[in-house]
Structure 1
Amino acid sequence: MKSAFVLMTLAALAGTSSLAIAQGTTDGILTVATIGEPPTLDAMQTPTDIVLTIDQHIFETLYTYDAEWKSVPLLAAGMPEMSEDGLTYRIPLREGVKFHDGSDFDAKDVVASLTRWMDVNSKGKQVADIVESLTEDGDHAVVIKLKSRYAPLLATLSQASIIIPSEKVADTLTEFVGTGPYALKERRPDQYTQLVRFDDYVSPEGEPSNYAGKRVAIAKEIRFVPVPDANTRVEGLISGQFDFADSLPVSAYERVEQSGNAKPVIYENTGWASLNMNMKEGLLVKKELRQAVQVALNPNDMMLAAFSDDRFFSVDGSIFPQGSFWHTEAGIERYGEGDPEAAAKLLEEGGYDGTPLRLMTSRQYEFHYKIGEVAKAYLEAAGFKVDLQVVDWATLTTRRADSKEWDIFITHSNFPGDPTTINTITDSYPGWYVSDAKAAAVAAYMDATTDEAKKTAWDGIQTVIYDDAPLYKVGNFNAVTGVAAGISDYTPTYWPHFWNVTPKK
């Protein structure tokens, strides 16, 4: 995944999308340059960013994410009715919704789709482990009974758990039929994926907010064109070949801005960069040495080296960015401007013996490499000896699976809809973050049944993460995309979407 994850203000989201909706439908076409060819259109099987970007126009889920990345109804008619023990969820379903093949959406389709999702999707398999039963409750509701409380349930139902007609469910999908504002017309691999307006689409109500609210298929057609080369995407956008171009180099910002034919769009808080530490073997098994890494580093200098301009990054100790429901300052005391003296004291307390700290990074993500260079300088100033190992990304991902091979690796992640799905929280993720304190904090989260209780529990998890120091959050980074000058109502989202967007004349 792109990991992602931006939080636009409600005002901005509402203002631009409302303008688009007011303009009504057109016969225009939107041509979208993507970073490559989707390997499939089955988001259950392959929930990568490119698949989810296209799929969200065709398929819908029971819930989706609003501007705070909270789960809100999409095909569901409301939030679940929960039993007092938090183990039974009754989910009401919207009535009058149709699939692209003309069939009616009902509870049978939901049960069949979610059963397949729990069989084939990685997140779905996690849910399957705690689901006791999934049943229809009439035509317009389903009931999920759990073996134990599972707070991330709605978040996991907000992404790749696409609903398809029960008659189309198969191990391998051969027809891609959904309830979304656009239907698949033609897919020519390495050329384009063509979607056309679904005239019988029934939109959810409400002000547009991230992926929630009113959806109008203003453009008659959307063509997703795979363009793997970033510079080709830039040139095609400027020449007028594309109406939208995804994932542009930050170095192209001024050129697009000055072209007069297109405008750059900064998507804030696309993801976050981190230094992940090995808690299983080597130097950093000792908490004092991991905390010394935290205290030694200067996040602003690392992000400035990586992105050159503060338009493209922000520094924030909270794992989730400002504007997110999950943003909190809990536990971030050791996140600051770099304190070599305090770090040296922790090195002494941890009995550091001068063994080189093996820091792995890759130049395939150039910003990883630049972060690594600055981190090396700060760690050495604190008293560490540092062995900066620069390898290709495939080697890094292979080597990080072996706890004997490294002490720190640099990576980046998106901001998930539920905080407990962050990779590092998983015991088996490279770094092998296992602690009694983490287990207790995560258990408290899983037991929560309200947003307020989840938020309080997440404060506790972040506090434990900062104390245990399995990783060091460097900062948040922004992404650059571009739209044609004639399009004024595009609203940035993590997976770019094109309902409520008017084609240029």
Structure 2
Amino acid sequence: MEPTTMKRRTFGVLTTGALVAATGATKAADKKTLRFVQNGNLTILDPIWTTAYVTRNHGYFIYDTLFAMDEQNAIKPQMVDKYEVSTDKTLWTFTLRDGLEWHDGKPVTADDCIASVKRWGARDTMGQKLMDFVKEMKPVDAKTFTMQLKEPYGLVLDSLGKPSSNVPFMMPKAVADTDPFKQISSQIGSGPFIYVNAESKPGEKHVYVKNPKYKPRTDAASGLAGGKIVKVDRVEIIEMPDPQQQVNAIIAGEIDLIEQPPHDLLPVLKADKGVTLVNWNPLGQQFVIRFNHVQPPFNNPKVRLAGLYCMRQEDYLKATVGSPEFYKVSSAAFVAGTPNAFDAPNGMLIKPDFEKSKALLKEAGYDGTPVVLMQSTTLPVLTNTAPVTKALLEQGGFKVDMQSMDWQTLVTRRTKKDPPNQGGWNVFHTFSVAADILNPISCTYMAANGDKAWFGWPNDPEMEKLRDSYAKETDPAKAKELAHTVQNRALETAQYGWIGQWYGPGVARKNVTGWLKAPVPVMWNIDKA
């Protein structure tokens, strides 16, 4: 989800002795370099300010997390050495591991972690819900802090170990104290890689070197958890937007990894003996259609519902993915095959009802003003979603003004609440990795807290009550029922639409091994012969 392209800008990073030494040594020796092409250009380096997946990937290079999700989707301690919870489940105490250091050599402290959690909690929907239950956080000593809750909350560890956007990455307090709605300028973290600002050129490449002082956990790497052992000296993210060029480059050995090549080029890669396909994210992804709830006509729930009655998932999946081998038609918001999966009633999102859509538009008084549909042209898996939506909505009685733009322009424009004819928007598409949307709290699109909600800004107090109930519920069976109720509420108010699950392997040169199964393409544990 959400790669970015933008004009070049400079990102600050402390050029400490350790950084200079690490960079110089690596460059001089020309040791193992891993060259990686991800889905889109990396231009925003603040993983709290944006949910862009390319920025999330960057975050996993240079930052670390208190907890992390392993390959079995279990939450495990990461920066935390031990934790305790009181018998009434309201006081949590966290103690950090020994030897945690920022890239500038300063120790990681409890104050740093408290500030980081607060900044993340102001932007992320799962973080916001956690912070609703937090009374206070305070340090006990340099390595220990407490989180006092107002009442028991069942998703404390799930929140702090959230695997994908936004990720609760730990930052130095001076950085984490930055206004959550303004971008940070420093790239100082405590993670397994150091960002080399001097060699990075947005639009061309981003350079990371192994952090020589990073102390990984002793347990084996699993998913995003366990020991983050870096087995190469240097990673370069190569910005190469043309998919055919990517395929040509990896076959020629000019690059080592591609995050997710287009499905129509997979046969070419399968036929080449020098590369191998890697199913690094077996849970897959889900396409999403998002409406703007604050601007006409989608501020009217009947118009949003008319939009959902036009949806036919297979049209999207055939147009974007192609082969049924790599997609699944499913009306479950919380991902087919997982505990909270429920089918929507009456074939909604699967079988369109254009006459119902037209009737709802008439009831709503829709005046025929074209809805502004933003189309991304620089992210291959999303490029064909908007044309499908245009065709479906028009069959249902809408007039549609599809406006094409690069993904970064879309990412910037979707933040605006202005009327569409003044630079705003009505509807756009994105996608999420399945690990982000497994329940009503982690799923960004289910939040309906108005201005604090994700772009589209739905405001539904009833939905927020349901999400609170889910968060408090400790009985798995009752929690599952609440998840079903949340999904039904989202359909009733047409909060957004989930329009198909899809899967796509990455590709690696045959001499590259160790790509971990996780919802994020991480570069530790990977070796290059």
Q: Place the TM-score, normalised by the shorter chain, in its bin.
A: 0.7 to 0.9
| Secondary structure of 1:304's aligned partner | helix
The answer to whether 1:364 aligns with 2:376 is yes
Q: Is the 8 A contact 1:68 1:324 kept in 2?
A: no
User: Which letter does structure 1 place at the counterpart of 2:257?
Assistant: F
TM-score by length of structure 2 reads 0.73
Alpha-carbon contact 2:84-2:94 (below 8 Å) kept: yes
Deviations 1:108-142 (A, max 9, x none): x1322331552587437846676433222345532
Q: How far apart, CA to CA, are the structure 2 residues paired with 1:433 and 1:175?
A: 33
Give the distance between the partners of 2:467 and 2:33, measured in 1 at CA.
47
Q: How does 1:329-368 map to 2 (within 5 A)?
A: 329=342, 331-335=344-348, 337-338=350-351, 340=353, 344=356, 347=359, 351=363, 355-356=367-368, 358-365=370-377
1:222 is matched with: 235
Distance 1:444 1:350, change over 3 A: farther
Q: Is the partner of 2:169 in helix, strand or coil? A: coil
The alignment partner of 2:224 has SS state of coil
- In structure 1, stretches of 5+ residues that fail to align are 4-26
Q: Is residue 2:507 matched to residue 1:485?
A: no
1:259 deviates by: 3.0
1:465 deviates by 1.0
Provide the residue aligned with 2:217 in structure 1.
203
SS at match of 1:414: strand
1:273·1:410 contact (CA, 8 Å) conserved in 2?
A: no
Equivalence map 1:17-416=2 (5 Å): 28-34=32-38, 38-39=42-43, 43-44=47-48, 48-67=52-71, 69=73, 71-78=75-82, 81-82=85-86, 84=88, 86-95=89-98, 97=100, 109-116=109-116, 118-119=118-119, 122-123=122-123, 126=128, 131-138=134-141, 140-147=143-150, 153-158=156-161, 160-164=167-171, 176-178=188-190, 180-184=191-195, 187-190=198-201, 191-196=205-210, 198=212, 201-205=215-219, 208-265=221-278, 267-268=281-282, 270-277=284-291, 290-324=304-338, 327-329=340-342, 331-335=344-348, 337-338=350-351, 340=353, 344=356, 347=359, 351=363, 355-356=367-368, 358-365=370-377, 370-375=384-389, 378=392, 384-393=396-405, 394=409, 397=413, 401-402=417-418, 409-415=427-433, 416=436
**What's the % identity of the aligned pairs?**
14
2-structure distance, mates of 1:196, 1:301: 44
Partner of 2:11: none
Q: Deviations over 1:253-288 (max 9, x none)?
A: 222232332234454555422333455665666656
Aligned 8 A contact 1:372 1:388 in 2: no
Report the Cα offset of residue 362 of structure 1.
3.8
> Matched residue of 1:248: which SS?
coil
Q: Which fold has the larger relative contact order, with Cα–Cα distance below 8 Å and residues 6 or more apart in sequence? A: 1
Matched residue count = 471
Query: How far does residue 203 in structure 1 lie from its aligned partner after superposition?
Result: 1.3
The range that moved more, 210-219 or 235-244, is: 210-219
Q: CA RMSD in A?
A: 4.2
Q: Deviations over 1:425-461 (max 9, x none)?
A: 2324555533343132123134346777655433321
Q: Deviations over 1:45-78 (max 9, x none)?
A: 5664333323323321101223465543211235
One-letter code of the match for 2:118? M
User: Secondary structure in 2 aligned to 1:77?
Assistant: strand
Is the Cα contact below 8 Å between 1:34 and 1:245 reproduced in 2? Answer: yes
What's the counterpart of residue 6 of structure 2? none
Alignment check: 8 A CA contact 1:113 1:161 kept = no
Could you tell me which runs of 5 or more consecutive residues in structure 2 were left unpaired when the two chains were aligned.
Answer: 4-30, 179-183
Deviation at 1:143, TM superposition (A): 0.3
Q: In structure 1, the residue corresponding to 2:491 is in which secondary structure? A: helix
Q: How far apart are 1:490 and its partner, in Å?
A: 1.9
Distance in 1 separating the partners of 2:248 and 2:348 = 41
Q: 1:205 to 1:82 in 2, by over 3 A?
A: farther
